[in-house]
C-alpha cells in the first residue's frame, strides 16, 4: 500500500509540474497530516482479488480538517512491508487529497512513529551527557553541527547540481574540523587528528572513484537513486558521483574516531614520558592503531553487511554461484563501499600517528627554546 501511495505521489508531482507548464490548474492537492484510529474492524476480503480491506474510523489531528472524523477503507495487499494494519488507539500518518470544491479523500499512509523516535533520541542524549559530562555536551553540539551541515549545506548544494564528490569532501573536512576542535580544543592533537582523518577519507573516496569506474558501477543499485530521476528540480545527477559521495560520508565517522584515538593516545604517552623519541611515539601510536583497527574494520564491514542480510539470504536460498553474486551491481557496490572505507580507515592510522608524533616533538623544541631565552 505504501509503495502504491508513493508511486501515486510521484505521478501527482510530475502531473502538477506538467499542468503548471501548460497553464491548467491541478485537480486536487495533497497534504500529509496526523490522525488517530478510533475504531478498526476485522480484516475482510475485498471485491478485488488478492486484496483485503479494513474499515477504520479516523480522527484527523492536524491541518485544516483537525477534529473531523471520517471512515476510511484501509486496503491491504497481503504484503507485510506495504500493509498498514491498524488497531484502536494507534496514531497514523494520513494522506489527504483535497479538491477545489472542498471535498477530500483520506488514505492511511503510514504509522506515526515520531514520538517513539523522540523518546529514543532523548534517551541517547541523556546517556551521552551522564557519561561524558561537559565533553558529552560538546559531542552533542558537534552532532548537531554534522546534521546541520548535511541537511542545510551538502544536500541543498547537490540539489543545485554541484558535483556531489566535491560537496562531500568539503562537508567532510568541515565536519571533521568543527567536531574535533569542539571535543579536544585547538592544539597539536586536534590538528593531527583533523589532518589524518581528512586525508584518510579523501583516499577512501579516490579509491572508490577509481575502482567504481573500472568496475562500471551504475550508482543505481538503491531504489531511491532511481526515483531521483523524477524530482521536480530537474537535476541530472551523476549517480556514480552520488555513490562515491556516500562512501566518503560513510567512512567519515569511523575515520574520525580512529584519528582522535591515535592523536590522544600519543599525547597521553608523551605526557607520561616526555623523553620518548619521535620514532618511539610513532610506534606507540601504531600499536594503539593496530588494536583499534581490528575492531573498527569489523564495524564498517558489519554495518554494510547488516543492511544486506535479506539479500544475502536470497542468494543462499537459491544457491546462487559466487561468481554471479559478486558481479551483480548491488553486491559490487557494497564491496567497493566497505573496502574503500576500510582502506581509508586503515591509512588514517599511520598518517595520524606520524603527524601527531612529529608535532608533539616540535612543540617541545619550541618550549625549550623559549625557556632557554
- Cα separation of 245 and 237, whole Å? 12
89-108 pLDDT, tens per residue? 999 999 999 888 888 999 99
Burial of 337 (0-12, 13-18, 19+ CB in 10 A): buried
Q: What is the pLDDT of residue 312?
A: 79
Per-residue pLDDT of the chain (373 residues; tens, 9 = 90+): 444 444 444 444 444 443 444 434 457 788 899 999 999 998 888 777 678 889 999 999 999 899 999 999 888 887 777 788 899 999 999 999 988 888 899 999 999 999 999 999 999 999 999 998 998 998 899 999 999 999 999 999 999 989 999 999 999 999 999 999 988 889 989 999 999 999 999 999 999 999 999 988 888 877 777 788 888 777 888 888 998 898 888 889 888 989 999 999 999 999 999 889 999 999 999 999 988 887 777 776 777 677 778 887 888 888 888 778 888 888 888 888 888 988 998 999 999 999 999 998 776 554 555 444 4
- Cα separation of 353 and 193, whole Å? 9
Q: Tell me how far apart the terminal alpha carbons of the chain are, to the nearest angstrom.
A: 78
Residue 331 in grid coordinates: 553486491
Q: What is the pLDDT of residue 365?
A: 54
Q: Is the CB of residue 207 less than 8 Å from the CB of residue 344?
A: yes
- Cα separation of 145 and 170, whole Å? 14
Residue 271 in grid coordinates: 605526557
pTM, two decimals, is 0.75
Domains in the chain, CATH or no CATH each: 2-112 (2.40.50), 116-372 (1.20.1640)
DSSP category for residue 43: P
What is the DSSP pairing of strand 44-45 with strand 29-40? unpaired
Neighbouring C-beta atoms of residue 155, cutoff 10 Å: 14
Q: What is the pLDDT of residue 363?
A: 62
Amino acid at each position: 500500500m505504501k509503495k502504491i501511495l508513493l508511486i501515486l505521489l510521484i505521478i501527482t508531482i510530475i502531473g502538477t509540474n506538467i499542468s503548471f507548464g501548460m497553464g491548467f490548474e491541478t485537480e486536487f492537492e495533497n497534504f500529509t497530516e496526523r490522525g488517530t484510529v478510533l475504531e478498526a474492524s476485522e480484516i475482510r476480503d475485498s471485491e478485488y482479488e488478492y486484496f483485503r480491506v479494513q474499515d477504520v474510523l479516523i480522527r484527523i489531528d492536524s491541518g485544516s480538517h483537525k477534529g473531523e472524523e471520517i471512515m476510511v477503507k484501509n486496503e491491504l495487499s497481503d504484503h507485510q512491508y506495504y500493509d498498514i494494519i491498524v488497531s484502536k488507539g494507534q496514531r497514523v500518518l494520513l494522506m489527504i487529497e483535497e479538491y477545489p470544491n472542498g471535498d477530500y479523500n483520506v488514505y492511511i499512509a503510514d504509522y506515526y512513529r515520531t514520538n517513539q523516535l523522540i523518546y529514543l533520541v532523548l534517551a541517547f542524549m541523556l546517556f551521552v551527557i551522564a557519561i561524558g559530562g561537559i565533553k558529552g555536551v560538546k559531542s552533542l553540539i558537534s552532532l548537531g553541527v554534522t546534521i546541520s551541515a548535511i541537511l542545510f549545506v551538502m544536500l541543498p548544494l547537490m540539489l543545485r547540481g554541484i558535483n556531489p564528490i566535491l560537496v562531500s569532501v568539503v562537508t567532510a573536512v568541515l565536519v571533521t574540523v568543527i567536531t574535533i576542535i569542539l571535543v579536544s580544543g585547538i592544539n597539536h592533537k586536534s590538528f593531527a587528528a583533523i589532518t589524518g582523518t581528512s586525508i584518510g577519507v579523501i583516499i577512501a573516496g579516490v579509491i572508490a572513484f577509481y575502482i567504481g569506474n573500472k568496475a562500471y558501477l551504475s550508482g543505481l543499485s538503491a531504489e531511491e537513486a532511481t526515483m531521483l530521476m523524477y524530482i521536480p528540480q530537474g537535476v541530472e545527477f551523476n549517480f556514480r558521483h552520488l555513490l562515491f559521495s556516500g562512501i566518503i560520508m560513510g567512512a567519515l565517522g569511523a575515520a574520525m574516531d580512529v584519528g582522535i584515538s591515535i592523536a590522544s593516545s600519543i599525547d597521553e604517552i608523551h605526557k607520561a614520558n616526555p623523553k620518548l623519541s619521535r620514532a618511539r611515539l610513532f610506534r606507540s601510536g601504531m600499536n594503539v592503531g593496530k588494536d583499534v583497527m581490528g575492531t573498527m574494520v569489523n564495524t564498517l564491514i558489519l554495518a554494510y553487511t547488516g543492511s544486506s542480510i535479506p539479500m544475502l539470504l536470497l542468494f543462499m536460498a537459491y544457491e546462487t554461484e559466487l561468481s554471479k553474486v559478486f558481479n551483480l551491481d548491488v553486491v559490487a557496490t557494497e564491496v567497493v563501499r566497505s573496502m574503500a572505507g576500510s582502506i581509508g580507515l586503515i591509512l588514517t592510522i599511520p598518517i595520524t600517528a606520524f603527524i601527531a608524533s612529529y608535532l608533539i616533538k616540535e612543540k617541545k623544541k619550541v618550549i625549550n627554546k623559549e625557556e632557554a631565552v
